[in-house]
Structure 1
Amino acid sequence: MKLPSSAEGVVVATVRPRTPAAAAGLAAGDRILTINGRPLRDAIDFQFYGAEDRLELGVERAGGRRALRLRRRPGIELGVEL
């Protein structure tokens, strides 16, 4: 996982197909602002909070904000590089 971050949240670099991130609708260029209601300061926060089984991501895309829900599956990576 790459770990660049932005001033607010973290920006998604890539989303691999057929992964929980892709199924949730996460896309390259999305800015993840929150995980389960907790604000993200950097990619380390994403690794820490992203370890939960069920995630609700507060995402900014094209100037709008939306909530995406995803669920971890045993043995399958989330499928996102930041």
Structure 2
Amino acid sequence: MDQRPEIDAYTQVETVLKVEFAGVHPAATVARCIEAAHHGAMEVTGYAYPGLVERIARKHLQVLAVVAAEQE
């Protein structure tokens, strides 16, 4: 079975979130949040659709931004 569409979908998620959080979080932080969201989704639901991973990662990044702003 070809896994290419899934890989492309996660690449797209990473690109979207890197653009959205540019100037807020480094690219490495975005990538780590995506990896954590993927892992968490797999652990809880048994699947990690790109849309679900994107929503989870976005929430993580938003919370990290709030915490960082509060520490300034």
Under a length normalisation based on structure 1, what TM-score does the superposition of the two structures give? 0.29
- Richer in strand (by share): 1
Higher relative contact order (CA 8 A, sep 6+): 1
Larger gyration radius, structure 1 or structure 2:
2
Under a length normalisation based on structure 2, what TM-score does the superposition of the two structures give? 0.31
- Richer in helix (by share): 2
